[in-house]
Amino acid sequence: MDHPVSRWAHLYGLPDPGVPCQDVLDASPAALDHLADSCERVADAVETGYGLIRQALAMLEQAWSAPAPAAAVTSAGMHFRRVAAIGQQAAHAIRTYASGIWPAQSGVDGALTSADRTIVDQGLIPDPPPLPAVHYQAVVGLRIRLVEHLDATVSPISARLDRAALALVPALGPDPRDGLPPVAGNGFGPAPLYDAADSDARNRVRLARDLASSSPVRHAFAASVQRALQRAADAGEVVQLLHYDPFHPAGQGGVAIAIGNVATADSVAVLVPGVGNSPSDASDTLDLASDLTHATERAASGRSAATVVFLDYDVPVSWPGDTVVPPGSSAILPRLVDTASAANDLESVAGGQRLAEFVQRLRSAMDPTAGLALIGHSYGSTVVSRAATVLGPDAGVDDIVLLGSPGAGIGPRTAADYRAVPADHVYALGFPLDPVASPGLDLAAGLINVIPLAAGGPYGPDPNDGFGAQVIEAPSSASVDRHSPWFLSLLTGGMSDVLARSGAGPVANLNQHELANYLSGAALAAVAGVAAGKYAKVPVKSGR
What is the DSSP track for 53-115? HHHHHHHHHHH--SHHHHHHHHHHHHHHHHHHHHHHHHHHHHHHHHHTHHHHHHHHHHHHHHH
Kindly state the DSSP code that residue 433 receives in the 8-state scheme. Answer: T
What does the CA dihedral 113, 115, 119, 122 come to, rounded to 10 degrees?
Answer: 110
In a domain, 488, yes or no: no
The pLDDT tens digits of the residues spanning 327-365 come to 444 566 666 665 656 555 677 788 888 999 999 999 999
Whichever domain contains 384, its CATH number is: 3.40.50.1820
Q: What is the pLDDT of residue 81?
A: 63
Kindly state the DSSP code that residue 151 receives in the 8-state scheme. Answer: H
CA-CA distances (angstroms) from residue 282 to 19, 272, 351, 518? Answer: 24, 12, 18, 17
The parts of the chain modelled with pLDDT lower than 50 are: 182-192, 326-329, 442-456, 486-506, 543-544
Give the contacts of 347 (CB within 8 A, at least 6 positions apart).
313, 314, 315, 316, 341, 379, 383
CA-CA distances (angstroms) from residue 485 to 252, 310, 460, 476, 504? Answer: 30, 31, 25, 20, 18
In a domain, 207, yes or no: yes
Q: In this structure, are 148 and 58 located in the same domain?
A: yes
The pLDDT tens digits of the residues spanning 172-184 come to 666 555 555 544 3
Cα gap 275→342, rounded to integer Å: 7
pTM score, whole prediction: 0.62
CB 492 within 8 A of CB 480: no
Q: In this structure, are 164 and 66 located in the same domain?
A: yes
Number of folded domains in the chain?
2
Whichever domain contains 131, its CATH number is: 1.20.1260
Q: In this structure, are 117 and 28 located in the same domain?
A: yes
In a domain, 331, yes or no: yes
Beta sheet of 426-429, edge-to-edge order: 239-245, 254-259, 305-311, 267-272, 371-377, 399-403, 426-429, 470-472, 540-541
In a domain, 223, yes or no: yes
In a domain, 182, yes or no: no
Radius of gyration of the chain (CA): 28
Kindly report the backbone phi and psi dihedral angles of residue 384, in degrees, each rounded to the nearest multiple of 5, phi listed first. Answer: -60, -45
In a domain, 115, yes or no: yes
Kindly state the DSSP code that residue 543 receives in the 8-state scheme. Answer: -
The pLDDT tens digits of the residues spanning 293-330 come to 999 999 999 899 999 999 998 888 776 777 765 444 45
The pLDDT tens digits of the residues spanning 231-273 come to 999 999 999 999 998 876 556 889 999 999 999 999 999 999 9
Q: In this structure, are 249 and 352 located in the same domain?
A: yes
CB 46 within 8 A of CB 83: yes
Q: In this structure, are 155 and 106 located in the same domain?
A: yes
Asked if omega into 485 is within 30° of 0 (cis), the reply is no
Q: What is the pLDDT of residue 452?
A: 44
Q: In this structure, are 205 and 348 located in the same domain?
A: yes
Q: In this structure, are 276 and 128 located in the same domain?
A: no
Q: In this structure, are 467 and 353 located in the same domain?
A: yes
Cα gap 354→356, rounded to integer Å: 5
Give the contacts of 49 (CB within 8 A, at least 6 positions apart).
80
Kindly report the backbone phi and psi dihedral angles of residue 471, in degrees, each rounded to the nearest multiple of 5, phi listed first. Answer: -85, 120
Q: In this structure, are 466 and 526 located in the same domain?
A: yes
Q: Is 321 exposed, middle or buried (0-12, 13-18, 19+ CB in 10 A)?
A: middle
In a domain, 288, yes or no: yes
CB 508 within 8 A of CB 491: yes
Q: In this structure, are 169 and 200 located in the same domain?
A: no
Q: Is 494 exposed, middle or buried (0-12, 13-18, 19+ CB in 10 A)?
A: exposed
Cα gap 219→326, rounded to integer Å: 11
Q: Give the number of other Cβ atoms within 10 Å of residue 114's Cβ.
A: 14
Q: In this structure, are 149 and 241 located in the same domain?
A: no
Q: Which domain holds residue 32?
A: 4-173
Q: In this structure, are 290 and 372 located in the same domain?
A: yes
In a domain, 508, yes or no: no
Cα gap 309→293, rounded to integer Å: 11
